[in-house]
Structure formats: structure tokens, C-alpha cells
Structure 1
Amino acid sequence: MQIHMGETMTDNAPDLSGDWDLDAAHTRVGFSAKHAMVTNVRGAFNDVSGSLHVDFDDTTKSNAEIVLEVASIDTRNTQRDEHLRSADFFDAEKWPEIVFRSTLIEEVGDNALVVSGDLTIRDVTKPITIPLEFTGAQTDAAGALRAGFEGTRRINRRDFGLEWNMALDSGGWLVSEKITLEFEISAVKRETAAQAA
């Protein structure tokens, strides 16, 4: 993965190669969907984990994984959240996790990445690509190197077996088929044994 990211690869820049973990407290993986064809309903998965491996010498070894706990879905409405956890939608009891595993990470421009991989929702796995903006890397107050990424990607929920809907009297549907996934990722670099010593 050739991440030049503007000026981040200068002599003074932090070393982005190595292993990173998602900081769940500062990472948001959310979604938005049209409700009743007029308003957007937004939500997020509050329990997110994942990791990233960056290898500048062999880009084929760079990879990412994100795991969302379905039971942690939060749309700020208890009744709606329970419905989304039910068999009508995600069926959290039967399929408790949504998983994305990358197959290719490419730099397509300054601060711009395209991450290709497999997204599994319920028992359906489909290839998707996610465009991400690299928002920078800084050493935080605790001395850890932190990197940020942001992006969105539209998917058709029916492609993943999320079929439930209700027809409106005026025509159209209660819930849109197109869903926008929203990624705001903060990753913290793991210390190597040498750094820890």
C-alpha cells in the first residue's frame, strides 16, 4: 500500500507501516436510510473492533478487518433498534456480527484510498469497494500514533438479505433499499517490542 498522503512520507513524518487497532471510542461506523421516502434515519453500531496492517515493502500484505456487533445497533429509538435486531432485518441472535475483510488496499490519489474486500451481513458475503480519505496521523496526548480515515459507500440492503419493507398508502416504501454506510475511523498504532522497551 503506497500511502504518500501528501507530506506524511517526508523525513519528519510518522512511520505508518506496521499494525494498527481501531479505537472504538473514537470510531463510528454508521448508516443512513430514507424513511417514508421523505426523511433520513441515521444510526450506528456502538460496538466496533478491527485492525489494519500496513506493509510498504509488499503491498499485497496490507489488509484491514472491521467487525460490528449487530446487537449494538443504535438509531436513538428503542422500538426501531429491536426491530432491526430481529429476524426481519439483521437477526442478531443468529448472525451476531457484520464483518468486512479487505482483499486489496490501493492509493488512488493524495490522501485517497480505495479499500476492496468482502462484506458479510447475515449469511451473505459480497465484494464491495470503499473509498476512504486519509485525514492525517498525529501523536496523541498518551504518546500513541493515531491515524484517521473517513468515507461513505452506498449499498443495496436487499443484496444482503435485508428484505423487510412496508408499502405506503401513497405509493413507495417505508424503508429505502439504498443504504449509505458511513465510516469515521480512528486507528492507533501498536507498539513493537523494541518500542515498548
Structure 2
Amino acid sequence: MSATVTSVPTGTWNVDPAHSEVGFQVKHMGIATVKGKFKEFAGSLTIGEDGSATATGTVQVASVDTNEAQRDEHLRSPDFFDAATHEQITFTSTEITAVDDETFKITGDITIHGITKPITLEAVFEGSDQDPWGNTRVGLTVTGQINRSDFEMKFNQALGSGNMLVSDKVKLALDISAVKA
């Protein structure tokens, strides 16, 4: 669990869900991008005095929201997340390394649909400031990508054009505001 994340101040930073978003994007029919998010999530980033760093996160699968109720119910079904059986998506970092003063790679294990796979995310430190209530905050933008099929979420339908109804590739996009513990 090594890191040299010099721009993020030392300490434990807890994600503030009221000022953060855990989102995703997937191509629909190969021509349109459907965006979604999870409404219930938690996470933390700890930066040690020695430069060590760890990150963890959980998402409540049933909180998926794509702004279309019927689609959201389908995503909760066994065709996709199977929220009744696999209630959470979890992430635990194994290594965090600096790319430059503001960018770092977060490598870890993500568990979706009961299957754990390695993933590397890119995080950009957006800055730190004190909010009007005296809390110190940091901002992070985190991006990554998974393939649904790696997590046994293979529901799909071939279209006459040769496109698939739902892309296998899913882009992850997290906008994080975290408060110092």
C-alpha cells in the first residue's frame, strides 16, 4: 500500500454523499450514452504521514438510478446486478501511486455481482479548502472502466445493425468531496 500522494493532505477523508456522485456511462444500441448513478454509497481515503495511502468504498446496488424506473428495476434484476443477492459493490485499494502532483493511480479489488476483479482507477486531486462550517475538504475526480461480462453480467441482445443493445464496456465516473475525519 504505497503512495506518494503529496498533494492530498495527510489524514482520513470520508466521502460526503451530499456533495459527491458515483456514476457510470454505458452505450445503448451503440449510438447513445446512458448515464446512471448510485444514490447510496460511502468511502474513505487515508493518507499516512509516511506517504502510505488506502482507499475503500461501498455502493448500495439497489440505489441505482438512470432516470428511468423500468430500466432501474431491470438493472436490479438477476440479468444485471441481482441486487437481492448481491447488495453491494465494494472496492479496496491495494496500491496508490502518484503520476504527478495532482494525478494518481488507485489499483485495487472491485467486487460486483459477487465477483472480485482487479481494477486501476485514475484520480485527480481537485484541491482542498475549508467549508463554511469549519470542515476541511478535498475534491477528487476518479475515472475508470470495467467490462460487464467480467462480472457475469452478460444480458444483451444483438440488433439488426450489428450493434448490441447494451455495451459490454462501462465507464466509471466519481466526483468526490471528502471531509477530514
TM range (shorter): over 0.9
* Separation (CA, whole Å) in 2 of partners of 1:185 and 1:162: 27
| Residue 127 in structure 1 maps to residue 129 in structure 2 | no
Aligned pair partner of 1:36 in 29, 32, 35: 29
Aligned pair partner of 2:63 in 72, 93, 98: 72
Once the two structures are superposed, what CA deviation does each residue of 1:116-154 show, in whole Å capped at 9, x if it has no partner? 100000111001110110000001111000001103212
- Percent identity of the aligned residues? 44
Correspondences of 1:4-43 after superposition (within 5 Å): 4-5=6-7, 16-43=9-36
Q: Looking at CA atoms only, which structure, 1 or 2, has the larger radius of gyration? A: 1
Correspondences of 1:1-197 after superposition (within 5 Å): 1-5=3-7, 16-57=9-50, 59=52, 62-190=53-181
Q: Number of residue pairs matched?
A: 179
Give the unaligned 5+ runs of structure 2.
none
Q: Answer whether contact 2:5 2:51 (CA < 8 A) is retained.
A: no
> What amino acid sits opposite 2:104 in the alignment?
L
SS at match of 1:109: coil
* Separation (CA, whole Å) in 1 of partners of 2:64 and 2:152: 17
Give the unaligned 5+ runs of structure 1.
9-15, 191-197
Instruction: Give runs of ≥4 in structure 1 deviating > 4 Å.
Output: none
> What amino acid sits opposite 1:156 in the alignment?
N
Please report how far the alpha carbon of residue 53 of structure 1 lies from its aligned counterpart in structure 2 after TM superposition: 1.2
Please report how far the alpha carbon of residue 58 of structure 1 lies from its aligned counterpart in structure 2 after TM superposition: 5.2
TM-score, normalised by the number of residues in structure 1: 0.88
Once the two structures are superposed, what CA deviation does each residue of 1:82-138 show, in whole Å capped at 9, x if it has no partner? 000000000000000000110111111020111110000011100111011000000
Q: Answer whether contact 1:2 1:56 (CA < 8 A) is retained.
A: no
> What amino acid sits opposite 1:179 in the alignment?
V
Once the two structures are overlaid, the 10-residue window that deviates more, 162-171 or 75-84, is 162-171
CA RMSD of aligned residues (A): 1.2
Q: Answer whether contact 1:27 1:48 (CA < 8 A) is retained.
A: no
